[in-house]
């Protein structure tokens, strides 16, 4: 079961065949997909979703990413993906994210998200719907 608190969000996830290479090891880019899902579900648990933001003229994009792969995940592993907001600026938000298998840290990343206008694709300040959420995180 997922949980959403002021300290962050945790998403349970199972590794399927489509997530792995021919040897049953999770393909490196899929960790980033798992992290994206956790951020999207964090928004959903807080009452928003990506489509609502797009309808309001707001797009959230990855601006900067630093990732460290420590250990591999395998087919059928039960994982937990965390997303914790560590910094909020005028039009950027930084997440610390981790991928866990039980108590074992597999991957960690610092992900900086930028808030853009869908019309101009230029940075814009957080809309009112997100300001409340960013202050609560």
Q: Write the DSSP assignment of 73-131 as a string of letters.
A: -BTT-EEEEEEEEEEE-SSEEEEEEEEEETTEEEEEEEEEEEEEETTT-SB-PPPHHHH
- Let me know if 55 is a catalytic residue: no
Alpha-carbon separation of residue 135 from 23, 24, 50 (angstroms): 44, 41, 19
The one catalytic residue in 21, 55, 76, 77 is 21
Catalytic residues, by residue number, are 21
């Amino acid at each position: 079961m997922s949980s959403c608190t002021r300290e962050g969000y945790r998403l349970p996830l199972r590794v399927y065949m489509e997530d792995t290479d021919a040897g049953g090891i999770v393909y490196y880019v899929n960790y980033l997909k798992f992290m994206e899902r956790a951020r999207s579900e964090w928004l959903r648990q807080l009452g928003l979703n990506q489509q609502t933001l797009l309808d309001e003229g707001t797009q959230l994009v990855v601006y900067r990413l630093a990732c460290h792969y420590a250990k591999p995940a395998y087919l059928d592993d039960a994982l937990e993906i965390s997303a914790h907001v560590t910094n909020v600026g005028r039009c950027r938000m930084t997440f610390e994210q981790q991928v866990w298998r039980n108590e074992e840290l597999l991957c960690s990343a610092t992900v900086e998200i930028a808030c853009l206008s869908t019309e101009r694709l230029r940075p814009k300040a957080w809309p009112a719907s997100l300001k409340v959420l960013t202050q609560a995180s």
